[in-house]
């Protein structure tokens, strides 16, 4: 089915369910859960993905399929992208049949991908005379958070636009953790810094647990001692349990995308002139794990580098529980 043309809402009222049409491009690990929650909240959806089959359930529940990004943009009040890399964002936003072609005057594009400001800036500049609005609103919370509608969302853009989009964000995220973090590009920067620190925690935790266990300390005794110490972190206390208890390295976020995020983070540091030796090392370790275990391995797979080094898996007695 091809989308029909539709004028964007003329008022600046918040885009409430039942009245607003949301375009959504990128129905992967994250986008599939986010669109299901938008639909459940009562938004009419217009969707597109290179994999049309990814839209089957949404269409069965009343979403409209559009042939390309321009058609999505032409028939929506706001168009959202949730795409793998800046290259994909550029193709969808500015390529032939892209968002810029389809957006009506005054239309809005929100990029929720983990990306960089360059493409959004170019769309904003190209669309300035037509009143086109662009926001960056990347997310944290893994595919589990996307599915449960509890994402954390970091929004960069104008205050009025953020207020207008708030109900849309609330359909996908935790209302307490939808943060307007600054002007255009601030959302992308905050998201990259969060991932950089989390991936750094992962590598540091893998080193410490492997060394301690190899030195003869019980894994869970060591972890509890770390939790009770000033060295505690959310990763030690919570996230690492996915591996220790279940052998789950989180394939919901591919290591290829983690490497993309780390590369963008190091690039950002370079562009603002900050030396980041530790971040660069973490990026290289991630790239080594990607080369060894494959692009689709989970984002926590670098822990395996250390498990391989000590010749054992880091698992608690509760594994499989
Ligand atoms: P994914 O690869 O699972 O999904 C991306 C989707 O985009 C796929 O369905 C793909 O077919 C589609 N796509 C690619 N090119 C397209 C095009 N030209 N036109 C239309 N559709 C196209 O990726 P994901 O895990 O959902 O991640 C999406 C974004 O969210 C990434 O920027 C990622 O870094 C970020 N992110 C992911 C997670 C996570 O846990 N997976 C968490 C936070 C942020």
Q: Which of the two residues, 317 and 50, has the higher pLDDT score?
A: 50
Query: Do 177 and 31 fall into the same domain?
Result: yes
- Residue 8 in any domain: the answer is no
pLDDT band at 225 (very low <50, low <70, confident <90, very high): very high
- Which pLDDT score, from 0 to 100, does residue 321 have? 46
Backbone angles phi, psi at 303, to 5 degrees: -60, -30
Query: Do 106 and 210 fall into the same domain?
Result: no
Query: Do 142 and 258 fall into the same domain?
Result: no
The residue from 162, 183, 204 where one domain ends is 183
- Residue 104 in any domain: the answer is yes
Query: Do 146 and 79 fall into the same domain?
Result: yes
Residue 8 has pLDDT above 70, yes or no: no
Report CA(228)–ligand 1 centroid distance (Å): 37
Site to probe by mutation for ligand 1, drawn from 47, 54, 84 as the one with most ligand atoms within 8 Å of Cβ, is 84
Query: Do 212 and 92 fall into the same domain?
Result: no
pLDDT above 90 covers a percentage of the chain that reads 94
- Which pLDDT score, from 0 to 100, does residue 19 have? 87
State mean pLDDT over 31-39.
Answer: 98
pLDDT band at 270 (very low <50, low <70, confident <90, very high): very high
Residue 4, Cβ density class (10 Å: 0-12 exposed, 13-18 middle, ≥19 buried) = exposed
Residue 3 has pLDDT above 60, yes or no: no
The residue from 183, 215, 250 where one domain ends is 183
Query: Do 35 and 175 fall into the same domain?
Result: yes
Site to probe by mutation for ligand 1, drawn from 23, 25, 30 as the one with most ligand atoms within 8 Å of Cβ, is 30
Termini Cα distance of the chain: 45
> In DSSP terms, which residues pair with 179 in a beta bridge?
154
What confidence tens digit (pLDDT) does each residue in 107-135 have?
999 999 999 999 999 999 999 999 999 99
pLDDT band at 244 (very low <50, low <70, confident <90, very high): very high
- Which pLDDT score, from 0 to 100, does residue 194 have? 97
| Cβ atoms of residues 255 and 286 within 8 Å | yes
- Residue 235 in any domain: the answer is yes
Query: Do 173 and 243 fall into the same domain?
Result: no
- Residue 297 in any domain: the answer is yes
pLDDT band at 318 (very low <50, low <70, confident <90, very high): low
Query: And the tokens for 252?
Result: 């919901």
- Residue 6 in any domain: the answer is no
Query: Do 36 and 160 fall into the same domain?
Result: yes
Our answer on whether the CB atom of 139 is closer than 6 Å to any ligand 1 atom is yes
Residue 80 has pLDDT above 70, yes or no: yes
- Residue 7 in any domain: the answer is no
What confidence tens digit (pLDDT) does each residue in 256-268 have?
999 999 999 999 9
Torsion of CA 249, 284, 188, 275, to 10 degrees: 140
Report CA(253)–ligand 1 centroid distance (Å): 9
Q: At what angle do helices 255-271 and 186-214 cross, to 10 degrees?
A: 120
Query: Do 52 and 178 fall into the same domain?
Result: yes
Our answer on whether the CB atom of 43 is closer than 6 Å to any ligand 1 atom is no
- Which pLDDT score, from 0 to 100, does residue 317 have? 79
Backbone angles phi, psi at 171, to 5 degrees: -70, -20
- Output the pTM of the full model: 0.93
Q: Which atom of ligand 1 is nearest to the CA of 26?
A: 7
Number of domains observed in the structure of the chain: 2
Report CA(48)–ligand 1 centroid distance (Å): 12
- Residue 276 in any domain: the answer is yes
CATH number of 36's domain:
3.40.50.720
- Which pLDDT score, from 0 to 100, does residue 5 have? 40
pLDDT band at 24 (very low <50, low <70, confident <90, very high): very high
Query: Do 288 and 208 fall into the same domain?
Result: yes
Our answer on whether the CB atom of 143 is closer than 6 Å to any ligand 1 atom is yes
Site to probe by mutation for ligand 1, drawn from 49, 113, 144, 258 as the one with most ligand atoms within 8 Å of Cβ, is 49
Query: Do 116 and 158 fall into the same domain?
Result: yes
CATH number of 225's domain:
1.10.1040.10
Our answer on whether the CB atom of 86 is closer than 6 Å to any ligand 1 atom is no
Residue 319 has pLDDT above 90, yes or no: no
Query: And the tokens for 266?
Result: 């190091």
- 191 catalytic, yes or no? yes
- Which pLDDT score, from 0 to 100, does residue 109 have? 98
Query: Do 177 and 203 fall into the same domain?
Result: no
The residue from 143, 164, 183 where one domain ends is 183
Residue 217 has pLDDT above 70, yes or no: yes
Pairing mode of beta strands 151-156, 139-140: antiparallel
- Residue 238 in any domain: the answer is yes
Our answer on whether the CB atom of 27 is closer than 6 Å to any ligand 1 atom is yes
Residues spanned by the domain of 85: 21-183
What confidence tens digit (pLDDT) does each residue in 144-164 have?
999 999 999 999 999 999 999
Of 1-10, 70-79, 173-182, the range with the lowest mean pLDDT is 1-10
pLDDT band at 9 (very low <50, low <70, confident <90, very high): very low
């Amino acid at each position: 089915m091809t989308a029909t043309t539709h004028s964007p809402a003329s008022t600046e009222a918040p885009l409430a369910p039942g009245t607003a049409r949301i375009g959504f491009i990128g129905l992967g690990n994250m986008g599939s859960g986010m669109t299901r929650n938008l639909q459940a909240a009562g938004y009419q959806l217009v969707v597109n993905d290179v994999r049309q089959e990814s839209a089957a359930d949404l269409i069965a529940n009343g979403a409209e399929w559009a042939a390309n990004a321009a058609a999505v943009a032409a028939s929506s009040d706001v168009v959202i992208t949730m795409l793998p890399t800046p290259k994909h964002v550029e193709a969808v936003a500015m390529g032939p049949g892209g968002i810029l072609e389809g957006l009506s005057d005054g239309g809005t594009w929100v990029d929720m991908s983990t990306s960089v400001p360059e493409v959004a800036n170019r769309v904003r500049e190209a669309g300035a005379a037509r009143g086109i609005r662009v926001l960056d609103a990347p997310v944290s919370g893994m595919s589990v958070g996307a599915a449960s509608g509890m994402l954390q969302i970091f929004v960069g853009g104008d205050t009025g636009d953020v207020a207008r989009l708030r109900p849309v964000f609330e359909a996908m995220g935790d209302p307490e953790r939808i943060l307007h973090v600054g002007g255009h590009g601030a959302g992308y920067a905050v998201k990259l810094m969060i991932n950089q620190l989390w991936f750094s925690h992962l590598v540091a935790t893998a080193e410490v647990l492997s060394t301690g266990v190899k030195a003869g300390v019980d894994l869970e005794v060591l972890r509890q001692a770390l939790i009770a110490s000033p060295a505690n972190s959310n990763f030690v206390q919570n996230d690492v349990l996915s591996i220790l208890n279940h052998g789950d390295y989180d394939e919901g976020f591919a290591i290829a995308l983690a490497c993309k995020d780390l590369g963008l983070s190091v690039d950002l540091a370079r562009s603002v002139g900050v030396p980041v030796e530790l971040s660069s090392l973490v990026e290289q370790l991630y790239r080594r794990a990607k080369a060894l275990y494959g692009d689709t391995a989970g984002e926590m797979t670098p822990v395996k580098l250390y498990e391989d080094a000590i010749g054992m898996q880091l698992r608690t007695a509760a594994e499989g529980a």
